[in-house]
Chains A and B, each alone.
Chain A
Amino acid sequence: MNESPASSSETPMVRFERVSKRYGALTVLDQLDLDVASGEKVAIIGPSGSGKTTVLRVLMALERIDDGVIHIDGEPLTHMPQGDGLVPADARHLRKMRSHIGMVFQHFNLFPHMSAVQNCMEAPMSVLGLGKEEAHTRAAELLTMVGLADKLDHHPAQLSGGQQQRVAIARALAMRPRVMLFDEVTSALDPELCGEVLNVIRELGSAHQLTMLMVTHQMGFAREFADRVCFFDAGRIAEQGSPEELFGNPQHERTQQFLRAVMEAI
């Protein structure tokens, strides 16, 4: 059961088990099952409002789920063991599990009162307990990796959107997560700035054993970069498969409709 294309016999890095999320009467995630293998790159596509962002937000534990369980590397994230069963996770358990996950937001959400390097030092210092020097070294390395070696002391307002988003990626990586979540990280950027951000993600994908989930509207990038593409519709995965399968030969009518609409928009 639950066999996804890239998963082997080993424990999946991320497992959604019949996860539901509701806002009042609106069901945003509808008994979602999703396994992501360690190191796998999964692209999430689908129409607006289909629950793509919500998948990332519940995985980041920014939202609570109403039903089901999410596991990270075999350990429940949304719940914790008690006696024979599971009970909803408390704040402490959530914080422990969250440390495995990093997230990059559509609107960067950099801390505007801190320089690029300070943005990347804050959490390593106050969460991981790193010393100032060590945190600075780590932050500088990461900012260099994303091509911002000369912008360490710039504040977000002094950076372009593409540069800000690269700082946000470095900031998340500074916590050494095992899973990285990207929510439409290029949607708020001018088209000519998307490339520099996508390049950083590309490099990350090839150089690290990171597990990645990315919500994206960049079908070209999803096709080239992802191991698997999931098409979301109404809080469920309507269709999933390798990029070749999903883009080349979509089975469901909803998928075909969506891809047609996206292609026409280009």
Chain B
Amino acid sequence: MNAHWDWNYVHEILPILGEAALITLQATLLGFALALVIGLVLAVCRMAANPLVRHAAAAVVEFIRSTPLLIQIFFLYYGLPEFGLALDAMLAGLIAIGLHYGAYCAEVYRAGIDNVPRGQWEAAAALNLPPQATFRRIILPQAIPPIVPALGNYLVALFKETPLLSAIGVLELMQTAKILGSESFQYTEPITLVGLYFLVFSLLASALIRLLERRLGVRAAPRS
């Protein structure tokens, strides 16, 4: 094992890690997009008039939140083929991340929606707006700006959990670093670089969210 920091090695592996970084980024963005959609669907189901739908959605959220993401990833990748549904590793990982963070986002959406005053629903009903238009045009535009920070925190958390995908062999940053390390017996450089990469992107993402927050804050301010 080489105990010293090897700049030549760094130069050699940087492009390889760069490519892996794209996979990590892809998993983050696609996974989060999925989580946002799944979260909204779950949140809406939790408010459904039908008690069966409502309770089912609540149970799904509770179940997903009470089990580790790693197990969900394993289940989708290794378990589903038992039921005749084999997913490619990246897809299984994305769905697991989307579901897991979707369950968390559902609670955030719900808080946002609960915070919209009752009078807004009533004004929409009095104007005869159909439920879908009420939700899309009246409720969501008021519910979302205040929850952007909370959703943003989940984006950063999700990003930092993408290394779990290495457990099913997705060639994202962590998996690539492990392979590089095992080939050269030099783990320090690839793992350090991966750590730095996560640090930089987390900081960048947080700054971006704060910027967005401030933007939305200005626009969300006109409230009576």
Contacts and interface: CB of A to CB of B under 8 A. Distances in A.
Contacts of A98: 125-126, 128
Interface of A: 60-62, 95, 98-99, 101-103, 105, 107-113, 122-123, 126-127, 155-158, 164, 168, 171-172, 175
A139 to B, nearest CB: 13
Residue among B119, B122, B123, B126 with the highest chain A CB neighbour number at 10 A: B126
Interface residues of B, number: 22
Given A109-B120, A157-B222, A123 B129 contact: yes
B147 to A, nearest CB: 15
B37 to A, nearest CB: 22
B224 A62 contact: no
Contacts of B200: none
Interface string B128-169: 111001000110011000000000000000000000000000
B222 A126 contact: no
Contacts of B137: 122, 126
Given A112-B142, A113-B141, A126-B133, A164 B127 contact: no
B128 A123 contact: yes
Interface in B196-221: 219-221
Interface centre among B128, B142, B222, by most chain A C-beta atoms within 10 angstroms, is: B128
Contacts of B133: 126-127
Contacts of B138: 111, 122
B222 A175 contact: no
B11 interface: no
Nearest to A115: B222
A122 B128 CA distance: 11
Given A95-B128, A123-B127, A127-B130, 15 more contacts: A61-B125, A62-B122, A98-B126, A99-B128, A105-B122, A107-B119, A109-B117, A112-B142, A113-B219, A123-B128, A126-B130, A127-B129, A156-B222, A158-B222, A175-B128
A109 B137 CA distance: 15
B129 A102 contact: no
Contacts of B142: 111-113
B215 to A, nearest CB: 14
Contacts of A164: 224
Contact of B119 (A61, A101, A105): A105
B126 A172 contact: yes
B224 A110 contact: yes
Nearest to A102: B126
A245 B219 CA distance: 52
B119 A109 contact: yes
A157 B130 contact: no
A157 B224 contact: yes
A127 B138 CA distance: 14
Nearest to B137: A122
A122 B129 contact: yes
Contacts of A110: 123, 224
A126 B136 CA distance: 11
Contacts of A108: 224
A171 B223 CA distance: 18
B127 A172 contact: yes
A239 B122 CA distance: 30
Given A112-B142, A122-B129, A123-B128, A105 B123 contact: yes
Most chain A beta carbons < 10 A, residue from B122, B138, B224? B224
Contacts of A101: 126
Contacts of A103: 126
A102 B126 CA distance: 6
A171 B119 contact: no
Contacts of B141: 113
Nearest to B119: A109
Contacts of B130: 95, 126-127
Closest 9 CB pairs of A and B: A157-B222, A123-B127, A109-B123, A109-B119, A155-B222, A103-B126, A126-B133, A112-B223, A113-B141
A103 B119 CA distance: 12
Interface string B78-101: 000000000000000000000000
